[in-house]
Amino acid sequence: MDILTKIVSDKRIEVNLRKQLIPIKQLEHSILFERETISLAKRLKESTTGIIAEHKRRSPSKQVINHDLNVFDVAKGYENAGACGMSVLTDGKYFGGSLDDLLTARASCNLPLLRKEFIIDSYQIIEAKAYGADVILLIAAILSKVEIKQFSELAKQLDLEVLLEVHNEEELHKSIMPSLDLLGVNNRNLKTFEVSLETSKELSQHIPSDFIKVSESGISSIDAIKTLQPYGYKGFLIGENFMKTNNVGKSAAQFINDLEQ
């Protein structure tokens, strides 16, 4: 069983449990549920750098990246560095994240926040809104076309933007629909964990220009970004590169500064 299948099967159990603990009505009454969301798509469109910086403690491929940093400092650091948005991993079992990380990030910065999660149930979208997210991630590899449509339309009703992630042409073709805002190409093969920027290059020509293009995974150098910008990419998701340093804000600031040169 590949890692993605395993994560999804664990996620179903986890979500069913959470539904019993916190009913939807309770989520809808949370303070953050009524807040006005911040557009990541707009920020990326207006930016010359397009960095979406990530908070990630560990991953199945790298194990521990950094357990010493607190989310408050990371979010503040990313905002001061000039990032366009922040991605917050909320999966606990495989990535060491939590919804509390999302709450803390929301309390400490005014960046658009992406809830990075394996969404398999509409409950998680309502949860994302209640915990202060502005954008949700949908992964084409784990969802049917019907689910992508249903989940993205619900997100729109809640005033959340949708970043849909694809790995190949087949996933891209089943996914393109008007209820998406951003199309992310993951350069990492989720079955083998190998990374190649060629994936972003190849898929760029198949993405309609009305979606903001985001490249994800394996982007650790200025060169990688400069290589992908001519292919129409406006957003670049960077996690491990910053997270593995002692001062995340400083390393992000240095990176963004160098990119602007």
User: Mean pLDDT for each 10-residue chunk of the chain (261 residues)?
Assistant: 89 98 97 97 97 91 74 96 98 95 97 98 98 98 97 98 96 96 92 86 95 94 95 94 91 95 87
Which token pair is 258?
A: 């160098």
Check if 56 is active-site: yes
Check if 66 is active-site: no
* Element of type H or E holding 54: strand 51-55
Q: Which residues fall within 8 angstroms of residue 108, CB to CB, at 6 or more apart?
A: 71, 72, 75, 76
Q: Residue 189: its pLDDT value, please?
A: 79
Check if 202 is active-site: no
The DSSP output letter for 60 is T
CA distance 93 to 90: 9
Active-site position among 11, 56, 129, 213: 56
Q: Residue 218: its pLDDT value, please?
A: 86
Q: Which residues fall within 8 angstroms of residue 92, CB to CB, at 6 or more apart?
A: 14, 98
**Residue 136 and residue 116 in contact, taking contact as beta carbons nearer than 8 Å:** no
Please give the C-alpha separations between residue 109 and each of 28, 57, 115, 235, in angstroms, as whole numbers.
22, 19, 15, 19
Q: Residue 155: its pLDDT value, please?
A: 98
Check if 54 is active-site: yes
**HSE-CB of 131 using CA atoms within 13 angstroms:** 25
CA distance 53 to 203: 22
Evaluate the CA torsion angle 218, 155, 100, 78 in order and state its sign: positive
Q: Residue 1: its pLDDT value, please?
A: 62
Active-site position among 11, 59, 108, 116: 116
Check if 216 is active-site: yes
Which token pair is 137?
A: 């991630």
Structural domains in the chain, sorted by start: 3-260 (3.20.20.70)
pTM here is 0.96
Active-site position among 117, 161, 165, 171: 165
Name the one residue in this structure whose structure tokens are 């790298």.
62
Which token pair is 28?
A: 């809808």
Active-site position among 117, 127, 216, 240: 216
CA distance 217 to 84: 17
Name the 3-class secondary structure at 31.
Answer: helix
